[in-house]
Amino acid sequence: MASLKFNNIYLNDWLTISGPLESNSKLKKIDLKMDDYYYGAKTFEQAEAKMQNVVIQKLLERNKLTYGDIDFLVGGDLLDQIGATNYASINIPISLLGIYSACATFPESLIIGSMILNDRSVKKIVGVTSSHNLSAERQFRYPIEYGAPRPHTSTFTATAGISTLLSRDIGKIKIESATIGKVTELGIKDANNLGAVMAPAAARTLYEHLTDLKRPLDYYDLILTGDLGCIGGTIFKEYAYKRYNLKIKKHLDAGCELYVKSQETYSGGSGPACLPLVLFNKILTTNKYKKILIIGTGALHNKTFVNQKCTIPAIAHAVSLEVE
Amino acid sequence: MNKDEYQKLVKELSPKEPKLRNAFVAFLVGGLVGFIGEVIVNILMESFGLSRVDSYAWLAFILILFATFMTALGKFDNWVAKAKCGLIIPTTGFAHSVQSAAIDYKKDGLVTGIGANIFKLAGSVIIYGIISAFFLVLIKVMLYG
């Protein structure tokens, strides 16, 4: 059994900060905005830590909460040793659980937060995640000013930070159930086609979710995958049909829904912040969908293993959300 | 669906890179760099009275300075994205790779940052350039004495 059901656990509030490119994209609403990639910090890595720190502080401020009201902080990011989350938490006296599932970190934070909230003595949890285009470029690809030609299958790491507030108090969105993914790889080695790396993991988690909870595909108004990109999204649907006989119709991919064409991001956006950014600042603003299944997809890309000619494994976690 | 079938599916659904067009653009841009180089060499020879060998040395210096400067201004990577290998293969590409690494690692310290990483991309060009030169000279000496 890979799935869990939750009782009365709600996503009460959230706050996002979006980068310069994201603020002028297909998003319908902007919470906080960064005018440049440094965000007043000395380096891009420090800027990412600051983004996380700010979204946590502002979320607490808006809900009139103090650090003492929050029992646990659950979060992670893409940087080595989840550096952004660790440095963001230096001046935040809340017990921290650092997590990593690459770009599936956001649903993982919701799942772990909801699991902790099953304990009745726990009142409130804050989840946090982020990605920063330039700190990710530096870590995973080339120096920032180096102009390596990119293939059309490549995606663009979104710059954003997201914080969420979880509790048992009735709120806007109910976290109804979740499925924890299994590591999946189908022999793809191309770090410029991460959509193809992650698509089988997303399809597998979707299939296990539906099987475990005995639900038909049209139970959901929308299946929102994290950052497969436009090309990865097509591969996902085709693979799900051929492998699991799932004919997916009501599907959107957050990566494909983020940028406009002139922003030249090729297959679309990616990064742990991509899925929550599109979910909160685009999908939920429309009030069109009641039952949403989000599937965060993470390419477990490790440079050392890839250099040693290993394939890239992927993982996908799904969370079922019910909009009240 | 096994791994081979999946890879076939991925190949089918991923757009093809316009290799012929990229090669043509690279040919034109690379040729243009060569043409400009030849013009500069002629100017150096005619107007400054330099020998052909000295002019080539000055030309390399000018091209490297130009690429380094444009990388520092944040323009060169955008040009490469359009011109593809037309700007990477000439000496401008080498200068660009060194300069972009230098800018990137500046904040990570003089030794642990710049020192350790400045040849991150260019290192391969240097090491394999030297090795190939060694063997080519060896072959030349063996054939022609």
Q: What is the pLDDT of residue A264?
A: 86
Q: Are A259 and A268 in contact (CB under 8 A)?
A: yes
Residue A311 confidence class, pLDDT cut points 50, 70, 90: very high
Q: What is the pLDDT of residue B126?
A: 93
- Which residues in A104-127 are b (16+ Cβ under 10 Å) and which e? bbbbbbbbbbbbbbeeeebebbbb
Q: Residue A103 gets which letter from DSSP?
A: B
Is the Cβ of A303 closer than 8 Å to some Cβ of chain B?
no
Residue B108 counted as domain residue: yes
Residues B101, A146: C-beta atoms closer than 8 Å: yes
Taken in order of first residue, the domains within chain A and their CATH numbers are 3-167 (3.40.47.40), 173-323 (3.40.47.40)
Residues B80, A138: C-beta atoms closer than 8 Å: no
DSSP lists the bridge partners of residue A293 as A223, A320
Q: Are A202 and A228 in contact (CB under 8 A)?
A: yes
Residue B3 counted as domain residue: no
Q: Are A275 and A294 in contact (CB under 8 A)?
A: yes
Say whether pLDDT at B84 is over 90. no
Q: Are A300 and A313 in contact (CB under 8 A)?
A: yes
Residue B51 counted as domain residue: yes
Q: What is the pLDDT of residue A1?
A: 79
Is the Cβ of A135 closer than 8 Å to some Cβ of chain B?
no
Separation in Å, CA of A268 to nearest CA in chain B: 14
For residue B47, the SS3 value is: helix
pTM: 0.93
For residue B132, the surrounding DSSP H or E stretch is helix B122-144
d(CA A67, CA A121): 17
Q: What is the pLDDT of residue A217?
A: 95
Query: What confidence tens digit (pLDDT) does each residue in A282-291 have?
Result: 999 999 999 9
Question: Which of A145, A152, A237, A243 to mutate: most B Cβ within 10 Å?
Answer: A145
Is the Cβ of B9 closer than 8 Å to some Cβ of chain A?
yes
Say whether pLDDT at A148 is over 90. no
Say whether pLDDT at A64 is over 90. yes
Give the whole-number percent of chain B exceeding pLDDT 70.
Answer: 100
Select the residue of B81, B105, B120 nearest A149 (Cβ to Cβ). Answer: B81
Nearest Cα to Cα of residue A161 among A287, A32, A1: A32
Q: What is the pLDDT of residue B145?
A: 78
Let me know if B79 is exposed, middle or buried by CB neighbors in 10 A (0-12, 13-18, 19+): middle
Residue B67 counted as domain residue: yes
Give the whole-number percent of chain A exceeding pLDDT 90.
Answer: 94
Separation in Å, CA of B56 to nearest CA in chain A: 26
Identify the domain containing residue B74 by its residue range.
19-144
Residue A322 confidence class, pLDDT cut points 50, 70, 90: very high
Q: Helices A44-62 and A133-140, interaxial angle, to 10°?
A: 140
Nearest Cα to Cα of residue A258 among A279, A237, A234: A279
In chain B, how many domains are there? 1
What value does the mean pLDDT take over residues A96-111? 97
Which chain A residues have a beta carbon less than 8 Å from that of B15?
Answer: 152-153, 231
Looking at the predicted complex, does its ipTM rise above 0.85? yes
